[in-house]
Amino acid sequence: MKFSILKDFFIGQYKIIRGNRFGMFGAVILLFFGIVALLAPYIAPHELWESLRDSNGKLAILRQPSLEFPMGTTAMGRDILSQMILATRTTVMIGLISGLVSIIIGANIGLLAGYYGGKLDEICMRFTDIIYGMPFLPFLIVLISLFGRNIWFVIIAICCIIWRTSARVIRAQVMSIRQRQYIQAAKARGCSDTRIIYGHIMPNILPLLLLYTAFNIAWSVLAEAGASFLGFSDPNNITWGGMLYNLWISGKIRTAWWWFASPSICIILLVSALVFISRAYEEVANPRLKQR
């Protein structure tokens, strides 16, 4: 029975996205990046750090896109297409993990604070205020510079911060749901608090959870790209932001437009796909936005 509810829910979500041009665009792009991320090691034509030589045996440095190098090469003669594909995998992984972990943290804090209210709410919200006081990217780079350039520290640092928005929004929503009749009825029936929170309230905020999962993933991707661009990333894993960092420190931005274009377009595409999907959800939640 539980499963069929979930199935109906996802079919419902699919219909929402299906009926919206923006949502459909976003879903297609996400699917594309998902597939690339899964198959990355198999479809990347070259090794990550391999310096390429052209057919004449010369080192292929800063080559424009051509048949031989579809997206051109870097200042070190590395294949941009391969880097792009492998970076997709890293970026999608960081985005997914931090997006999911942060929504779990945010949702739980929001649910507990909103449901119990009182002291607990006060504590949770003051804590959220503190996190709101933290400048996000500076926090990221301080943490990474202290603890070392490792992909997991990046993820932890992102998770520490971005749950804050979802916690506030979910708390507000829970506070209004808490007052509703069926929640009061469940209480009267003697349902445990845990059951009310996760069995009765949470299903009602699922669309909001989905919306903020999308947002959190988008923010994680942007934050990771930002930190990488500033040089605070795991040197063993390439990401789109890291590619731009390499371009930036090589000093070739005046000429190597292809090196700039590919990762930039990918970041914009992935993030806007997520943003478009969330806008589709918002329009469903608030039909007035669509009215003419």
Partner 1 sequence: MQEFIIRRIIYTIFTIFAVATILFCIFRIMPGDPTAQVISPALDEAAQARLKEAFGLDKPVYIQYALYLKGLVTLEWGRSFTTSKPVFEILKYRFWNTVFLMGAAMGFTLLLGTALGMVMAWKRGGPLDVSATVSALVLQSAPPFVTGILFLMILSYKLDIFPTGGMSTPGERLPPGIAMLFNKDFLLHLILPAITTAFYYLATPMLIMRDSMLEVTGSDYIELAQAKGLSPGTVMIKHAARNALLPVFTVSSVLIGFALGGQVIVETVFSWPGMGLLMVEAASAHDYPVAQATFLLLAVLIIVLNLLADISYCYLDPRISVPGGKK
- The residue written with tokens 């509810």 in the block is 5
CA-only gyration radius of the chain, Å: 22
DSSP 90-141: HHHHHHHHHHHHHHHHHHHHHHHHHHH-HHHHHHHHHHHHHHHTS-HHHHHH
Q: Which is nearer to partner 1, 108 or 272 (CB)?
A: 272
Does 198 engage in binding with partner 1 (CB under 8 A)? no
Q: How far apart are CA 139 and CA 158, in angstroms?
A: 9
How far apart are CB 175 and partner 1 at their closest, in Å? 12
How far apart are CB 45 and partner 1 at their closest, in Å? 25
Q: Which is nearer to partner 1, 11 or 123 (CB)?
A: 123
Does 51 engage in binding with partner 1 (CB under 8 A)? no
Site string for partner 1, 118-157 (x = CB under 8 A): --------x--xx-xxxxxxxx-xxxxxxxx---------
**Total length of the chain:** 292
Rule CB under 8 A: which of 247-276 touch partner 1? 248, 253-254, 257, 260, 264, 267-272, 274-276
Residue from 83, 102, 87 nearest 219 by CA: 102
- The residue written with tokens 């931090």 in the block is 98
How far apart are CB 238 and partner 1 at their closest, in Å? 16
* Secondary structure in 3-state letters for 195-209: HHHHHHHHHHHHHHH
Total chain residues near partner 1 (CB under 8 A): 51
Q: Which is nearer to partner 1, 55 or 286 (CB)?
A: 286
Rule CB under 8 A: which of 65-104 touch partner 1? none
Q: Which residues contact 74 (CB under 8 A, 6 or more apart)?
A: 61, 62, 80, 83, 243, 246, 247, 250, 256, 259
Q: Which is nearer to partner 1, 52 or 274 (CB)?
A: 274
How far apart are CB 17 and partner 1 at their closest, in Å? 15
Within 10 Å of residue 244's Cβ, how many Cβ atoms? 20
Q: Which is nearer to partner 1, 49 or 257 (CB)?
A: 257
Give the H/E segment covering residue 177.
helix 151-178
**Under 8 Å between Cβ of 208 and 216:** no
Does 244 engage in binding with partner 1 (CB under 8 A)? yes
Residue from 104, 121, 93, 223 nearest 166 by CA: 104
Site string for partner 1, 27-46 (x = CB under 8 A): --------------------
Q: Which is nearer to partner 1, 179 or 291 (CB)?
A: 291
Q: Which residues pair with 53 in a beta bridge?
A: 59
Site string for partner 1, 204-243 (x = CB under 8 A): --------------x---x--xx--xxxx--------x--
Residues that bind partner 1 (CB under 8 A): 22, 126, 129-130, 132-139, 141-148, 218, 222, 225-226, 229-232, 241, 244, 248, 253-254, 257, 260, 264, 267-272, 274-276, 279, 286, 288-289, 291-292
